[in-house]
């Protein structure tokens, strides 16, 4: 090894060399680590350890992390600041769609939106003279660093991650006390914000709701967030926030996730498939209902007992691993609406076309889902299960989390394969790094080549 490649010996009493997040902060680099989705989330909640966060705080109680490191505060401010608004107003922003202007007056939200296009001079006048809060929707559409952060968080959580920026002048409050149906991470970007949190009236709530102050009692947490700080609280936590006296303005970013991602939602998604599979196997589930059951004012005890028996058998099969958890609708919703890979705006097939003697691996694995679903081709034939490999490589960053429903169907991408290809697709997806083509569990070499060529053409596979 050359002299340049050797590490200098440590002197007695010298501090050990800093590594990981600590080293990045000492070098003045961004405080977030983008090596993997896990490292990104770990650096976001540093110095809290990831395992401790999920054991003690996630879905349980709020967490306030105060950061005294100036580089963290500086990086947070670079994500979005008040001065960005003037340039963004040239992006043909519209009221309600791209931003709201509002203020909390006597415990009620007062919306000050105008009609149509946002003009900066009008927006700034409302901010300065009317002390209105500017709520900017989904800034990751315009800010690359937020795109990068949220894309990685979506990989980490396996759930959509949205964001809003709130800019509030001093001695003002934008929204009344309320709770949300999402897990919330607050990043304080500029100034300070005074937060009051209250115990949930609906723990882990599944919908947004206002809660009048006379009903919520005293706050469980009274916090001043400063630039560089992070605040987390679970869905259902009642909260309100204002900019304190003497603080020119506050800018904070809300990262939100896990909307409609509870176990009950999963059960609603997989249950129809479980029942459908049982109906195909068991003639008892295909017997007709008692006559006039739907017209009856009451219910039939025999029918109730029969249904209970079916449910118990379904539960036993799930517990024994005899039923697959095919959450097809949730998978499709996530992969169709999530962010595309960061900074990969022109994704093309990578390297040489795969051959039988090659070793291969999947690309963009965190942007793929595998779904086993009934084929929709022929309604007049028996149901046939097929395998879909769906991905988000060509999703539209511009429409992410904008509430317009799913993205354009022409953008939603995916491949369909016969059920016989499922094991080979799982092999590729579960492989740690690379996999010899010869080891793929398919009946013929031609099937192997067809599978690989389809994935390669879709930019999902490369030759090592």
Q: Which tens digits make up the pLDDT trace of 316-355? A: 999 998 888 888 999 999 999 999 999 876 788 988 999 9
Cα angle: 175, vertex 398, 348; to 5 degrees: 150
Cα 242 to Cα 46, 61, 62, 245, distances in angstroms: 26, 21, 18, 9
The reported pLDDT for the residue numbered 339 is 97
Helix, strand or coil for residue 270?
Answer: helix
The reported pLDDT for the residue numbered 384 is 86
The reported pLDDT for the residue numbered 216 is 93
**How many Å is the maximal CA-CA distance in the chain?**
90
Containing 213, the helix (H) or strand (E) segment is helix 213-216
pTM of the model: 0.89
Cα first-last separation, the chain: 27
The reported pLDDT for the residue numbered 25 is 44
The reported pLDDT for the residue numbered 347 is 87
The reported pLDDT for the residue numbered 356 is 95
C-alpha neighbours within 13 Å on the C-beta side of residue 140: 31
Taking only the tens place, the pLDDT of each residue in 220-240 is 999 999 999 999 999 999 999
The reported pLDDT for the residue numbered 246 is 96
The reported pLDDT for the residue numbered 1 is 38
Structure tokens at 140: 């990751």
The reported pLDDT for the residue numbered 378 is 60
**Which ranges of the chain have pLDDT less than 50?**
1-28, 406, 409-411
The reported pLDDT for the residue numbered 404 is 63
Cα 280 to Cα 183, 277, 283, 296, distances in angstroms: 39, 5, 8, 28
d(CA 425, CA 82): 48
């Amino acid at each position: 090894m050359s002299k340049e490649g050797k590490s200098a010996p440590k002197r007695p009493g010298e501090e050990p060399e800093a590594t990981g997040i600590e080293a990045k902060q000492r070098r003045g680099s961004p405080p977030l680590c983008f090596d993997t989705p896990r490292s990104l989330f770990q650096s976001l909640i540093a110095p809290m350890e990831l395992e401790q966060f999920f054991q003690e705080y996630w879905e349980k109680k709020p967490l306030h992390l105060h950061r005294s490191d100036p580089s963290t505060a500086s990086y947070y401010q670079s994500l979005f600041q008040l001065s960005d608004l003037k340039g963004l107003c040239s992006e043909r922003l519209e009221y309600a769609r791209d931003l709201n202007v509002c203020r909390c007056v006597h415990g009620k939200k007062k919306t000050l939106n105008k009609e149509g296009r946002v003009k900066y001079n009008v927006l700034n006048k409302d901010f300065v003279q009317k002390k209105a809060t500017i709520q900017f929707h989904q800034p990751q559409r315009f800010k690359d660093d937020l795109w990068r952060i949220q894309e990685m968080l979506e990989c980490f959580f396996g759930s959509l991650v949205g964001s809003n920026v709130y800019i509030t002048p001093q001695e003002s409050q934008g929204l009344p006390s309320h709770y949300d149906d999402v897990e919330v991470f607050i990043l304080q970007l500029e100034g300070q914000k005074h937060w009051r949190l209250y115990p949930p009236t609906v723990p882990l709530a599944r919908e947004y709701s206002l809660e009048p102050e006379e009903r919520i009692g005293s706050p469980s947490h009274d916090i001043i967030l400063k630039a560089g700080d992070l605040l987390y609280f679970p869905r259902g936590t009642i909260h309100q926030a204002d900019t304190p006296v003497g603080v020119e303005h506050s800018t904070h970013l809300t990262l939100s996730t896990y909307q409609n991602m509870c176990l009950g939602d999963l059960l609603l998604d997989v249950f129809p498939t479980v029942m459908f599979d049982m109906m195909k196997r068991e003639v008892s589930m295909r017997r007709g209902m008692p006559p006039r059951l739907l017209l009856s004012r009451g219910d039939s005890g025999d029918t109730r007992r029969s249904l209970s028996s079916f449910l118990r058998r379904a539960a036993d099969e799930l517990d024994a691993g005899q039923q697959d958890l095919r959450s097809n609708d949730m998978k499709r919703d996530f992969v169709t609406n999530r962010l595309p890979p960061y900074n990969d705006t022109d994704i093309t097939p990578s390297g040489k076309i795969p051959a039988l003697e090659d070793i291969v691996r999947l690309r963009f694995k965190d942007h793929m889902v595998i779904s086993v679903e009934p084929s929709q081709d022929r309604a007049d034939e028996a149901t046939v299960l097929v395998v879909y490999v769906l991905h988000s490589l060509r999703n539209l960053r511009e429409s992410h989390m904008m509430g317009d429903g799913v993205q354009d169907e022409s953008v939603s991408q995916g491949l369909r394969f016969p059920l016989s290809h499922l094991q080979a697709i799982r092999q590729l997806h579960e492989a740690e790094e690379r996999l010899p083509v010869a080891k793929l569990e398919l009946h013929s070499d031609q099937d192997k080549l067809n599978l690989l060529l389809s994935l390669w053409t879709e930019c999902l596979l490369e030759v090592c």
